[in-house]
Amino acid sequence: MQYDGLDFPDLRSINQDQSFKVPLSANNPLFALVISYTNTSLIPGITAAGQNKALIKYTPPADAEFLNYGHCECLDAIPVTPDGMPTPAIITKTALDLSNIPFLVLNAGSVISPQAPYVSFDMNPGNDIRTGNAVDESCVKKGLRYGEAFGRELAKLSKTIIIGESIPGGTTTALGVLVALGIDAWSKVSSSLTKNPHTLKNMVVKEGMAKAGILLGSFENDPVKAIAAVGDPMIPVVAGLACGISSSGSNVMLAGGTQMTAIVAVISALKRSLGNICIGTTCYVANDPHSDIQGIADGISSDFPIYAVDLHLEDSERPGLKAFANGFVKDGAGAGGVSILAILKRRGSLTGISILRSIEEEYDKLIQK
Amino acid sequence: MQYDGLDFPDLRSINQDQSFKVPLSANNPLFALVISYTNTSLIPGITAAGQNKALIKYTPPADAEFLNYGHCECLDAIPVTPDGMPTPAIITKTALDLSNIPFLVLNAGSVISPQAPYVSFDMNPGNDIRTGNAVDESCVKKGLRYGEAFGRELAKLSKTIIIGESIPGGTTTALGVLVALGIDAWSKVSSSLTKNPHTLKNMVVKEGMAKAGILLGSFENDPVKAIAAVGDPMIPVVAGLACGISSSGSNVMLAGGTQMTAIVAVISALKRSLGNICIGTTCYVANDPHSDIQGIADGISSDFPIYAVDLHLEDSERPGLKAFANGFVKDGAGAGGVSILAILKRRGSLTGISILRSIEEEYDKLIQK
């Protein structure tokens, strides 16, 4: 992809021509990792986060600690899937370190607080969306309000803010919000599992919608109620941040997979501008045959910019990293978006391959521990 | 004062020649307000914060809310002294607004959390220092560690970070730490009251030292123990932040009165560099006949830079503002330091007088409410 007169072979625009439409400034990006939680993650088979059910809630704070320290405080090891695949935060941290991009951790309802400084948004963890009462409406409103206020301050610090998330079960709650807002996202959201459990996710969302007494599009003009019924606490905080940042004239890269389309849908339903906002992810989400980020985005806004980075993980000899290219995890903790801005900030002196080599070094250190 | 080729008549260096020795960059300063609490504030006669004893603990979160909203959420009105003088946060907010300087609120042990986004350092409120056990030692270490980690990230965002505080009773805990570190600060710390209760403060500190079994200078090589015995939770967080920021090559302005000399003493006792650090305050502290910020600083490090701003509050016809020039409050919530950077950032298009006129407008709006 061409940007600012330079060529970036590992970056591409997945739905537009090969130039950035969003005038991202790569000079001083800032990364905000929003950690959160929903009891929806406890539904068997819905997420790859956590080596077992009891550990799922530790994944978000452990990701935050890993960014701070290169190890976790609340877990003995780094967060892994039941198959032993590492958290994508290993990619995020490597890309941040290589490009000297600063980060902040934002807590939007994590059950466990990270043992590191974090920004509190005073949010509670989300309920299982099968209740039809996922997040208190007052909490949704607070998330939007605090997010907007904090986003305005962040916009004074940086022209480009990358927002990532760590919330197990988040693609299912994203599906809920998308459908409640009238976007036909059935069987289109991504998954951290190789075998995307679409049937289960669709069923869970339908159960929540039935409990809340709503149909596809019931809340197309009321995103607060959509999130309250079948969403999660991360969504209003990230949507609020994006609105506060973009309305102050800075750019937002929503760093994540299909979860981030729910944020785009919320912002659109709030009748706020999408002008300074894009999504940044990995090619493993963009190329995923079992989900359709492009299709979902097209249902919200024509020509919404989505960018993807190729990290060449299929070339790695480390099985835990190679697995990402084979459909495990794929993206998360802002890995794709942060890699994109790291490559842009380093203006060509960093590529997907060179990031991979550094990730492998980090991975080997972890394995040795 | 001359700076960057321009003349700033309302700014002065109180102990050096008339040029900034610290190469402050006024291009993109960031303000961090650290809110905290110590039960020492409940000792009758020790602080002007809070209209009555029950309201003291609401002053720090109310200051944080005021910066966010221009009004307070946790109080019906803005924080005032028993005499009805407004919080100095009114100065801080006006100066931030006039100069578009971003801010973050950091919670370092406030009893009440602000109803706004804030950075959590997971600190507990401080005990009355008369116990000789003011802050758990593990909590002091955590404050230093988290502060340093967060400071390193802030340094990537800004070349100059202004750190202010809101902790009622904080000059007494500052006195405790200074004396424990071997600085003869007896009867030299400032006060939010016109009649500085030196006898009471000295007595309180002596009682705490006796309980902890220490003498002047007992902990001159152990600032962690000094803070743990007779300090407060704000001190390690601000000292950690300052170390993390300055060691990353950015500048720190400690925005406050004599409380900030305790931070300087801690950093010095930690054998960390003071090279990128200065204090910024108001002329009401700098000229105060009842305290001696210069004398305390001289006991820590020769030629440590202290800057003061003249806000011409004696010229105000609003009694609540004029009172600041007559010894009430004097500084706090970063008012002086933020005003200095606001004037520098605006490169002469803002003066002490023009800030005062805007403060008066803000004040009138509050009075009308």
Average pLDDT over residues B11-31: 78
Nearest residue to B330 (alpha-carbon basis) of B279, B263, B283? B283
pLDDT of B327 strictly over 80? yes
Query: Beta strand B11-13 with B306-309: parallel, antiparallel or unpaired?
Result: antiparallel
Of B146, B157, B158, the CB nearest to A117: B146
Look up the CATH number of the domain holding residue A19. 3.40.50.10210
For residue range B109-148, what is the model confidence (pLDDT) as tens digits?
999 999 999 999 999 999 999 999 999 999 999 999 999 9
Do A154 and B102 make contact, defined as CB atoms within 8 angstroms?
Answer: yes
For residue B116, the chain A residues in CB contact (below 8 A) are: 146, 149
Please list, in sequence order, all residues whose beta carbon lies within 8 angstroms of the beta carbon of residue B104, skipping any fewer than 6 positions away. Answer: A119, A153, B30, B31, B32, B33, B118, B119
pLDDT number for residue A348: 83
What is the spatial distance between Cα A75 and Cα B325, in angstroms, rounded to a whole number? Answer: 54
Are B149 and A68 in contact (CB < 8 Å)? yes
Cα separation values, A63 from A93, A239, B226, Å:
10, 21, 34
Whole-angstrom distance, CA of residue B320 vs CA of residue B328:
9
For residue B241, give the chain A residue with the closest CA: A117
Nearest residue in B to A123, CA atom? B117
Identify which of B357, B320, B362 has the alpha carbon closest to the alpha carbon of residue B80: B320
pLDDT reported for residue A324: 87
- What's the pLDDT tens digit per position in B192-235? 888 999 999 999 999 999 999 999 999 999 999 999 999 999 99
Query: Binning pLDDT at 50, 70 and 90, where does residue B82 land?
Result: low
Indicate the residue type of A191: S
Which residue in B107, B116, B158 is closest to A149 by CB distance?
A: B116
- Touching check for A157 and chain B: CB below 8 Å? yes
pLDDT tens readout for residues A178-214: 999 999 999 999 998 889 999 999 999 999 999 999 9
- B100 interaction partners in chain A (CB closer than 8 Å): 156
- DSSP string across A48-64: --SSSGGGGGGHHHHHH
Residue B7 — pLDDT band, cuts 50, 70, 90? Answer: confident
CA distances from A344 to A90, A285, B75, B99, B190 (A): 19, 20, 46, 30, 50
Name the residue among A103, A122, A156 with its Cβ closest to that of B102.
A156
| Chain A nearest CA to B119, separation (Å) | 4
In the chain, the amino acid numbered A69 is Y
Contact B102 A157 (CB under 8 A): yes
B122 at A interface, C-beta within 8 A: yes
User: Within an 8 Å CB–CB cutoff, is residue A31 touching chain B?
Assistant: no
> Which residues of chain B lie closer than 8 angstroms to A66, CB-CB?
none
Q: Is the dihedral of CA A321, A325, A331, A332 positive or negative?
A: negative
Q: Per the CB < 8 Å rule, is A121 touching B120?
A: no
* Res. B22 pLDDT band, cuts 50 70 90: low
Q: Which residue of B has its CA nearest to A154?
A: B102
Q: Buried b vs exposed e over A311-320: b needs ≥16 C-beta within 10 Å? A: bbbeebeeeb
What would the mean pLDDT of A133-157 be, rounded to a whole number? 97
Q: Which helix (H) or strand (E) holds B211?
A: helix B198-212
Find out whether B166 and B34 touch, Cβ atoms under 8 Å.
yes
CB-based contact, B121 to chain A, within 8 Å: yes
Q: Report CB contact under 8 Å: A113, B120.
A: yes
Q: Residue A337 in contact with residue A263, Cβ under 8 Å?
A: no
Helix (H, G, I), strand (E, B) or coil at A162: strand
Contacts of A102 in chain B (CB under 8 A): 153-154, 156-157
Task: Give the chain A residue nearest B248 (alpha carbons).
Answer: A100
Domain count, chain B: 1
Q: pLDDT > 90: what percent of chain A?
A: 79
User: Do A149 and B119 make contact, defined as CB atoms within 8 angstroms?
Assistant: no
Of A100, A106, A157, the CB nearest to B30: A157
Q: Does B113 touch chain A (CB under 8 A)?
A: yes
| Confidence category of residue B181, pLDDT binned at 50, 70, 90 | very high
State which residue of chain A sits closest to B150, comparing Cα positions: A117
Band of the pLDDT at B5, cuts 50, 70, 90? confident
Mean pLDDT lowest for which of A128-132, B181-185, B238-242, B329-333? Answer: B329-333
Between chain A and chain B, how many beta carbons pairs sit less than 8 Å apart? 62
**DSSP three-state, residue A94:** helix
d(CA A192, CA A81): 9
* Bridging pattern class, strands B30-35 and B160-166: parallel
Contact A158 B157 (CB under 8 A): yes
Using a 10 angstrom Cβ sphere, with 0-12 exposed, 13-18 middle and 19 or more buried, the burial of residue B135 is: buried
Chain A positions in Cβ-Cβ contact with residue B153 (cut-off 8 Å) = 102-104
Considering only residues B40 and B328, tell me which one the structure prediction assigns the higher pLDDT: B40
Tell me if A156 and B100 make a contact (CB, 8 A cut-off): yes
Mean pLDDT over B156-166 rounds to 97
Mean pLDDT of chain A: 93
Q: Does position B9 have pLDDT exceeding 60, yes or no?
A: yes
Average pLDDT, chain B: 93
How far is Cα A198 from Cα A247, in angstroms, rounded to an integer?
A: 35
Q: Residue B26: what pLDDT? A: 85
| B158/A157 touch (CB, cutoff 8 Å), yes or no | yes
Residues A69 and B60: their CA atoms lie apart, in Å, by 30
**Max alpha carbon distance in chain B (Å)?**
54
pLDDT of residue A51: 74
Instruction: Please give the residue of chain A at the shortest CA–CA distance from B142.
Output: A116
> Running DSSP on this structure, what letter comes out for residue B4?
T
Q: Are B116 and A153 inside 8 Å of each other by CB?
A: no
Give the bridge partners for B120, in sequence order. Answer: A118, B107
Alpha-carbon gap, residue A96 to B290, rounded angstroms: 49
Sign of CA pseudo-dihedral A229, A232, A233, A236: negative
Across the interface, do B156 and A117 touch by the CB < 8 Å criterion? Answer: no
Does A248 reach chain B within 8 Å, measured CB to CB? no
Q: State pTM to two decimals.
A: 0.95
Does position B34 have pLDDT exceeding 70, yes or no? yes
* Residue to test with chain B: of A113, A157, A248, A345, most B Cβ within 10 A: A157
Q: How confident is the model at residue A307 (pLDDT cuts 50, 70, 90)?
A: very high
CB contact (8 A) between residue B113 and residue A122: yes
Q: How many helices (H) and strands (E) does chain A have?
A: 13, 10
H-assigned helices in chain A: 59-69, 89-99, 137-157, 170-180, 198-212, 223-230, 234-247, 259-269, 283-286, 293-300, 319-325, 335-345, 352-368
Which residue is closest to A158 within chain B, CA to CA?
A: B157
What distance in Å separates residue B30's CA from the closest CA in chain A? 8
- Do A350 and A100 meet the contact criterion of CB atoms below 8 Å apart? no
Inform me whether the C-beta atom of residue A30 falls under 8 Å from chain B C-beta atoms: yes
pLDDT at A49 over 80: no
Domain that holds residue B232: 2-368
B 77-106: CB under 8 A from A? 100-104, 106
Half-sphere exposure of A106 (CA within 13 A, CB side): 32
Helix (H) or strand (E) holding B146: helix B137-157
Q: Do A117 and B150 touch (CB under 8 A)?
A: yes
- For the cut 90, the answer to whether the pLDDT of residue A163 exceeds it is yes
